[in-house]
Amino acid sequence: MQVVQINSIEFEDLLDGVYKLGKRLDKIDEKLSGKCIEYVPLNQALKTLGISRKTADNWHRQKILTKKYIGSKVFYSISDIKKVMEI
């Protein structure tokens, strides 16, 4: 094991760098935690919007709705459903 000596100015710079890195990581964490996308099952989306499966598929192709597959099940983005309901 090798011993490294640093003067107090270098140590303070190192601590300042660690502090700034911690602040940046906190900001990244805040942004990521706010980006969680919620989905609802297909049947709930259809019922909420009052549309057929064919219409939902067409809207997906037109990028009006975002669908996600989990296994063989289809889910739709809640934020997209809310946007459609506002129109």
* 29 found inside a domain: no
pLDDT: is 35 or 13 the higher one? 13
**Residue-range definition of the domain harbouring residue 75:** 39-86
Kindly tell me if the per-residue pLDDT of 45 is higher than 70.
Answer: yes
pTM over 0.85: no
Which pLDDT score is estimated for 35? 65
Percent of the chain clearing pLDDT 70 (strictly above): 97
Residue 27 lies in a domain: no
Residue 76, domain member (yes or no):
yes
Q: State how far the alpha carbon of 63 is from the alpha carbons of 13, 37, 46, 81, in Å.
A: 49, 16, 16, 12
Count of domains in the chain? 1
In a domain, 30, yes or no: no
Higher pLDDT, 71 or 54: 54
Q: What is the mean pLDDT of residues 13-37?
A: 80
